[in-house]
Structures are given as structure tokens and as C-alpha cells.
Amino acid sequence: MLAAAAFWLWLLAPPGLVAEPVGDPVAALEAHQQALFDRMAPSVVFISNGRGFGSGVIVSSDGLLLTNRHVVGDGDRVQVVLHDGASHDGLVQARHEELDLALVRIASHDLPVLPWADLRSLRVGSWVASVGHGSGGIWTFSTGMVSNIYPSGSERPVFQTQIPLNPGSSGGPIVDHNGDVVGIVVAGMERSNSINFAIKGDVVLRAFEQLAPLCDCLVVTTRVGIPVFLDGAMVGKGPRVLLSVDEGVHVVFAVVDGQKVEQRVIWPDEREVTLTQ
């Protein structure tokens, strides 16, 4: 189908717009997806809490893992299996009940880590992929697209995908076409066909202080619930807001105890701002 589409685009395009069909688009797509899986899979882990299982992603080479809170359950320890088959005892280090996220630590080092995407890159229609353990099919590769993005500040800080995911995929990464993480699988909609949700990358990275260094971002710290403004536009609420910004001078402010607290920031020379009285 792709090859036929490429031919018709070439045939119908205005003169000079498309010179000639180039290569085999199906083969190029296959090669890209295969390379993407090879890159992703070693950074995805299998996690069992003794009563159920799920997926997780390595977020630091020294053994810090990210997954869903419901994947680790209520205990302090889980069993973690790496892509190479090595098994580790995992210690649950932190939970975020509201966002259904958890951090797990294993005793390992030199682990492969996926980069995180620019927080502004995700759009409806974006191609995305995931690797996880849906329905027990370990290290399963699935692709789809972003079908909806819920606005910042909504009750569900998520985006919706049409990736065909199943129970066991929860906690795994969703990446863009570059292989950069854009979100974490959180849930599927029961009795629906291929409607799944992921927690947005910016929400994930600000959920735990340990994850802030993963983002090439301006980090703004203020009190809990205080709105933060960047160049006149509200961009989030405290205690911590992570922002992808363009190079140059920016104005960041918040209203704390009735007083406007403002700072000028030169990005990327300055990367952290604290707005308090």
C-alpha cells in the first residue's frame, strides 16, 4: 500500500516537486521499526510483585527504574528481569499515588537508558511506539499514533494512543519516531478497541525530584499549587515545573503571598529558578 501511494504521489505531483520514487518505502519503514525495537528493548524491564506483573523503563544507568504504582503493588520489593535475562531484587523507593507512578532501584550498573523527548514535541497524529509485556507476551513491540492530548491541568494528565496494548504493558515507555520517551503507559480502556492512555512525559519528569535531570529543561520551583508564568503565559503549578524553552532571555514569575516574584533567566546558561518570598 505504501509503495503504491509513493508511486501515485510521484505521478501526480507538480513538475519539480518530486523528482522520482526513491527506494522501497515499506523496506525503509521495516528497517526503521526494527532498529527502533533493538534500541528500546534493552531499556525495558519485566516487573513482578508476586501477584501480578507489568513493565518498566530504566531511567538511570545505575539501576533506577520507572513504572506504574499499581505494577509494584503495596509491598517494598519486586522482582525485576532485564532484557538479557538477568534477574534482580527491586526495592520500591517512591510512589506517586495520584499519577500511578513508582520508582524502583536494583543493584546494577551500566544499564542502557533511553533519552526523553522535548516536552513540546508531542502532537495529535504523532507516530508512537511501545515495548512491554502485554498479556504475558514479553518484550512485545507495538506501534500506533497519538489520538488525543488532554490539556495541562486536566483531571487526567495523559494522552490517548491507538497503540494496541494489553494488561502487562502498564509502566512501559512510549517513544516517538526518534526513540525518545514521550510518556509512560498507564491504562487501557476496557471494552474498547486499541484505546490506551499514557502519562505525558513532562508530568512524569516533574513527579519525582530524582527525574528532573533527565529533562533538558528549565526547572522552576515554588510552593505547592502556586501558578507559574513564563513570558506572560501560565505554564504549570508548583512545587516544580519543567519547561522546554528556546535559547535566549525569558521572564518567569509567580504570585506568592500576594506579591509578584519575578526573575529573568538566560537559557541555557541558567537552568533552575526558585520563586519564593
Check residues 240 and 155 and name the one with the higher pLDDT: 240
Residue 235 has pLDDT above 90, yes or no: no
Q: Per residue in 128-140, pLDDT tens? A: 999 999 876 899 9
pLDDT of 188: 59
Cα separation of 96 and 101, whole Å? Answer: 5
Mean pLDDT of 184-206: 76
Cα separation of 270 and 266, whole Å? Answer: 6
Q: Which domains does the chain have, with CATH numbers?
A: 127-205 (2.40.10.10), 217-274 (no CATH)
pLDDT of 216: 83
Amino acid in the structure at residue 113: V
Coil vs helix vs strand at 214: helix
Q: Which of 126, 130, 142, 170 is catalytic?
A: 170
Amino acid in the structure at residue 268: P
Q: Specify the pTM.
A: 0.80
Whether residue 100 lies in the annotated active site: yes
Q: Which residues, including other chains, have CB under 8 Å from residue 119's CB and lie 6 or more apart?
A: 201, 202, 215, 217, 242, 243, 244
Q: Which of 43, 55, 88, 100 is catalytic?
A: 100
- The number of angstroms, rounded, from the C-alpha of 246 to the middle of its chain's C-alpha atoms is 21
110: left (phi over 0), alpha (psi -120 to 50) or beta: left
Q: Which of 75-84, 161-170, 266-275 has the lowest mean pLDDT?
A: 161-170
Mean pLDDT of 237-249: 87
Q: Per residue in 49-91, pLDDT tens? A: 989 899 999 999 999 999 999 999 999 999 999 999 999 999 9
Long-range contacts of 144-149 (CB under 8 A, 24+ apart): 144/194, 146/122, 147/195, 148/124, 149/122, 149/123, 149/124, 149/200
Q: Which of 43, 48, 55, 70 is catalytic?
A: 70
